[in-house]
Structure 1
Amino acid sequence: MIDVVSAAWLADRLGGVRVVDVRDGWEFDGIGHLPGAASIPFDEFRSADGDVGMLPGRDVWERLLSNAGVAVDDHVVAYDDTHGVFAARFLVTALLYGHDPEKLHLLDGDFSAWNRERETTSDASDVVETTYEVSAPESTPLVDFETVEAALDDPEAVIVDTRDPEEFAAGHLPGAANLDWRELVDDETRGLKPRDELDAILNDVGVASDRRIILYCNTARRISHTYVVLSHLGYETVEFYEGSLTEWNARDGALVEE
């Protein structure tokens, strides 16, 4: 599973894990970054012309990780400065391209949270290039249009829309529950809310660990964060609709307005 790790956990392991900063390059260079972090800006691994949906493509991904000094057996910790939503997208992409999920970690909090109490630097990181090779994952959470369409009639499935309530009201999949991804993070700490609060929020919308959960948003960024959180909490059956509403609308999938 992809897990969420504390700043203290990471501080004790700097130098022993590969840290990836997915903010814009000017932020990495001009504002500073975690010691030893490699820069892989979100826009560089975000493409609609890749392998599936919004994935960047095998060749692009291998080049980015090789240049950032990531090896296939590295433990990787990703962070951003937006409560982890862009970093989560990086980690899910790594998962879908075969990186061991047990070695993928989201920093709880973000750059701003780390910067409150810990060292950052503007010095260039010493990165030794690798030869990263994509592999097929042992299993994949990806589901396609047809699978999601069939799940509309599955009483065991909970289809979860992770967009904000206004977007949800403007049009959502029939029977979907609305779980705005930001409900799971604390604006003050910039990390996840306490476990009991997370459980209450999830239970309120019917997202239970013994149910089949299918996630979607617009372009698979926001569901990445929710996917990582559910993975961290131990949910076992979480499916990831990569095409999300971009594909759903293009294929005239059914929508409901409120």
Structure 2
Amino acid sequence: MTEDIVVSVDWLAAHLDEVRVVDVRDAWEFDGIGHVPGAVNVPFDRFRSSEGDAGMLPGAERWKTLMEEAGIDSDDRLVAYDDEHGVFAARFLVTAMLYGHRDVHLLDGDFSAWNRGHETTSDAPSTPSATYDVREPEASPLVDFEDVEAALDTDATIVDTREPEEYAEGHLPGAVQLDWRELVDSETRGLKPDAELESILTERGITPDRRVILYCNTARRISHTYVVLKHLGYERVDFYEGSLTEWRERGGPLETEADA
């Protein structure tokens, strides 16, 4: 079994009976287009909340209910996918990690990559009874407003994973711009090769020897970048769940591209 947080479609095909596959697309896609055999459907909007325990998280009780309804136990090995290069699936996995799930993996290449060479089905999956225990994560990457504010005066690399136009309109002082889509290949729909990923990151000064703090608008896009950095072996990666939504609400300083 793999220890990598990212797994290939061929790896998943060889281990379907050993993992719990989670499809986070909308229900009409899951039912109408088809899905990976045995996958359960937990649509993105069901584990997303603007009024949860920590920013955009759904809340521990809601998460527990969602997992038990999907037949997922606390110790299941999860592999999640979507059809958007993995950004929504990554959000599911980061959410699971923050609620103490310890064995999570992203399908490299999303549903389209699977569909090119592997069987799909429209059959309803079996959902066995499950008991899900929300736990404290072994080590939480979450940082809050005060942590990020203090980091502005350190050598931490603060990374804005939004599009260049959004960055230009206003970003955290000193933040590096890295659109999360720069890390995916439009043809394979998965991650670019590791050497290319490392080159892109190094060019931006995002290196494993420095503390990295990620933010976007609502913590969806940074979920994908977080998974990529963990895949590459980065150890000090912090996750600003509140992102710019909270930063603006609390009056945090911003600079425009012209200011920078």
| Runs of at least 4 residues off by over 6 Å | none
**SS class of match (2:6):** strand
TM-score, normalized by length of structure 1?
A: 0.98
* Structure 1 residue 138: Cα displacement: 1.6
Q: Which residue of 2 aligns with 1:243?
A: 242
Matched, 1:153 2:141: no
8 Å contact 1:181–1:223 — kept in the other structure?
Answer: yes
Aligned partner letter, 1:23: R
Q: Deviations over 1:51-85 (max 9, x none)?
A: 10100001110011111111111100000000000
Shift of the 257–86 alpha-carbon distance from structure 1 to 2, 3 Å rule, reads same
Q: Which residue of 2 aligns with 1:167?
A: 166
* Structure 1 residue 210: Cα displacement: 0.7
Aligned partner letter, 1:6: S
Q: Which residue of 2 aligns with 1:214?
A: 213
Q: Deviations over 1:235-256 (max 9, x none)?
A: 0000000000000000011001
Matches within 5 A, 1:1-258: 3-100=5-102, 103-155=103-155, 157-258=156-257
TM-score, normalized by length of structure 2?
A: 0.97
Aligned partner letter, 1:94: A
Shift of the 176–148 alpha-carbon distance from structure 1 to 2, 3 Å rule, reads same
Q: Deviations over 1:77-128 (max 9, x none)?
A: 000000000000000000000011xx10000011111101110011111121
**SS class of match (2:96):** helix
* Structure 1 residue 229: Cα displacement: 0.5
- Measure the CA separation in 2 of the matches of 1:115 and 1:129: 29
- Measure the CA separation in 1 of the matches of 2:236 and 2:164: 25
- Measure the CA separation in 2 of the matches of 1:200 and 1:125: 41
Q: Deviations over 1:17-37 (max 9, x none)?
A: 000000001110111000000
- Measure the CA separation in 2 of the matches of 1:215 and 1:144: 11
Aligned partner letter, 1:81: D
- Measure the CA separation in 1 of the matches of 2:220 and 2:79: 18
* Structure 1 residue 13: Cα displacement: 0.5
* Structure 1 residue 139: Cα displacement: 1.2
Aligned partner letter, 2:17: G
Structure 1 unaligned runs (5+)? Answer: none
8 Å contact 1:2–1:104 — kept in the other structure?
Answer: no
Aligned partner letter, 1:191: G
- Measure the CA separation in 2 of the matches of 1:129 and 1:185: 36
**SS class of match (2:21):** strand
Aligned sequence identity (%)? 69
- Measure the CA separation in 1 of the matches of 2:167 and 2:182: 14
- Measure the CA separation in 1 of the matches of 2:84 and 2:129: 27
Residues paired across the two proteins, number: 255
**SS class of match (2:16):** coil
**SS class of match (1:53):** coil
**SS class of match (2:100):** coil
- Measure the CA separation in 1 of the matches of 2:131 and 2:4: 23
* Structure 1 residue 133: Cα displacement: 1.3
**SS class of match (2:17):** coil
Aligned partner letter, 1:146: E
Shift of the 2–143 alpha-carbon distance from structure 1 to 2, 3 Å rule, reads farther
8 Å contact 1:2–1:228 — kept in the other structure?
Answer: no
* Structure 1 residue 2: Cα displacement: 6.5
